[in-house]
Amino acid sequence: MLNFSFLQMKHQEKPSEENLTELTEFVLLGLTDIPHLQWFLFGLFLVIYIIILLGNGIIYLITKLDPTLQIPMYFFLGNFSFLEICYVSVTIPRMLMNLGTQRRRISLVACATQMYFGLMLGATECFLLAVMAYDRYVAICNPLRYSLVMSQKMCIQLVAGSWISGIPVQIGQTCQIFSLSFCGSNRINHFFCDIPPILKLACGNISMNEMLVYIVAVLFVTVPFLLILFSYTKIICIILKLPSATNRAKAFSTCSSHLMVVVLFYGSATITYLRPKTSYSSGTDKILSLFYTIVTPMFNPIIYTLRNKDVIMALRKFLCK
């Protein structure tokens, strides 16, 4: 997951070039600072992982199988639920293995692979949330043209673009980070391979790498957020002009679930990655990352089922079968 806070860190002193050693593996420290709770944490994260798989899996299935949910909004919701399953599967299985076996070593290739998929899926989530906001914008601001604009072909193109657009950039970013020389300790003070803790182990001047990461963050995080902000500004302006309170409530209900997910997603990202430099600590960073990468995906199915009558009805029919 993209992390901006490392731009605020001071470069630590690096060993001289003659002291460099070629690292072939890292050690993910994870939550080793609380050794007496390792098995409790294993059980807790296993339960959370099962809840995420079941919750998002059921939403994905009902959006594909229920005839009443065969509209663009639920097509995007199904893809979003599938994305959440993929995203948590990048980090939680490795963390469960580390907690269960206490073998925390991860090869250079495995670490790079985990970082790449985390970055790529994180970028996809940003784009997909923007696509879902655009869908609500068209539905509320241009209802007469909705079926024409959001055709099946357009929906597939928007989803495919969300998944594909981040692939080449994140491959390049991962390669340029792992092409750096690493020196000294091979211990990553985190529970997964993320950019900031990896860069802390790199030798020499990494300011150019930090700048490239920042540029990618602006493109893949800030731009989609501005699109979401623009869409909901237009939506709110239109809704407030509706003469009937009933129509206003109905219009708000069609986009409230997505808006809550957007607030939760970007709110947790802001707390995690843009908090003041003075409040930074690796322990706090790990706890907030747990919330960002694990707890938030667990809440998304709950938000959509509790706030959406169509999903509740489809879920009841699905459970009855």
Range name among 32-41, 103-112, 141-150, 273-282 with the lowest pLDDT average: 273-282
DSSP string, 66-89: -GGG-SHHHHHHHHHHHHHHHHHH
pLDDT of residue 305 exceeding 70, the answer is: yes
Type of residue numbered 235: I
What is the residue whose two structure tokens read 């939506």?
A: 235
Q: Is 206:11 a contact under the CB 8 Å cutoff?
A: yes
Do 197 and 7 meet the contact criterion of CB atoms below 8 Å apart?
no
Q: Which residue has the higher pLDDT, 270 or 1?
A: 270
C-alpha distances in Å from residue 300, one per residue of 135, 169, 246, 260: 18, 27, 26, 9
Top pLDDT among 294 and 288 is at: 294
- Taking the CB of residue 13, how many other CB atoms lie within 10 A of it? 6
- State residue 158's pLDDT score: 95
Mean pLDDT of the chain: 81
Question: What pLDDT score does 19 carry?
Answer: 45
For residues 321 and 315, what is the distance between their CA atoms, to the nearest angstrom? 10
- Give the residue-averaged pLDDT of 17-42: 72
pLDDT for res 132: 92
What is the predicted pLDDT for the residue at 275?
55
Q: How far apart are CA 273 and CA 269, in angstroms?
A: 6
Region 280-294: mean pLDDT is 70
Residue 191: HSE in the Cβ half-sphere, 13 Å Cα cutoff: 32
Residues paired with 202 in a beta bridge: 182
Q: 77-86, 136-145, 148-157, 294-303: which has the minimum mean pLDDT?
A: 294-303
**pLDDT for 283:** 66
Q: Is 245 helix (H, G, I), strand (E, B) or coil?
A: helix
H or E segment at 156? helix 152-164
Q: Closest by alpha carbon to 168, among 220, 210, 206, 131?
A: 220
The predicted model scores a pTM of 0.84
Contact 119, 238 (CB under 8 A): no
Rounded mean pLDDT of 266-275? 62
Spatial CA neighbour of 126 closest among 90, 91, 80: 80
CATH topology of domain 5-9+21-320: Rhopdopsin 7-helix transmembrane proteins (1.20.1070)
- Give the model confidence (pLDDT) of 195-238 as tens digits: 878 888 888 778 888 888 888 888 888 888 889 989 989 888 88
Average pLDDT, stretch 41-64?
A: 92
The greatest distance separating any two alpha carbons of the chain, rounded to the nearest whole angstrom, comes to 75
Tokens of 9: 């860190």
Report helix, strand or coil for 225: helix
- Residue 182, strand partner residues: 202
Q: What angle do the packed helices 152-164 and 166-178 form, to 10 degrees?
A: 0
Q: Where are the domains of the chain?
A: 5-9+21-320
